């Protein structure tokens, strides 16, 4: 189930920096994405170990739809957003 934009949910955002081409369509959709020092996207507050690293962060808030918009906007599909559900 997907929460409404105002409903809090738990979801995981993954950013594949190997696929990222620094086009920055994601930044304007969700400001948790930022330009890293190497010209590729990073997730704010997350550690970056290299240009080929995958960054994953779990969020619990009402911003799921924004993250989804960033993922949809990415032309190289470097962003994945998946809801975390209790089994």
The contact set with ligand SF4 (CB under 6 A) reads: 15, 20-26, 33, 41, 73-74, 76, 78-79
Q: Which C-beta is closer to ligand SF4: that of 9 or that of 17?
A: 17
Q: Is 73 helix (H, G, I), strand (E, B) or coil?
A: helix
Query: Could you tell me the smallest distance in angstroms from the CB atom of residue 55 to ligand SF4?
Result: 10
Query: Could you tell me the smallest distance in angstroms from the CB atom of residue 33 to ligand SF4?
Result: 6
Q: How many Cα atoms within 13 Å fall on the side-chain side of residue 87?
A: 0
Residue 41 contacts residue 15 (beta carbons within 8 Å): yes
Q: Which C-beta is closer to ligand SF4: that of 7 or that of 52?
A: 52
Q: Which C-beta is closer to ligand SF4: that of 45 or that of 85?
A: 45
Q: Is 72 helix (H, G, I), strand (E, B) or coil?
A: helix
Residue 68 contacts residue 75 (beta carbons within 8 Å): no
């Amino acid at each position: 189930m997907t929460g409404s934009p105002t409903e809090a949910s738990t979801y995981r955002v993954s950013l594949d920096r190997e696929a990222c081409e620094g086009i920055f369509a994601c930044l304007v959709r969700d400001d948790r994405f930022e330009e890293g020092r190497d010209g590729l996207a990073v997730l704010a507050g997350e550690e970056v170990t290299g240009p080929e690293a995958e960054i994953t962060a779990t969020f619990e808030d009402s911003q799921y739809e924004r993250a989804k918009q960033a993922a949809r906007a990415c032309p190289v599909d470097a962003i994945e957003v998946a809801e975390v559900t209790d089994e």
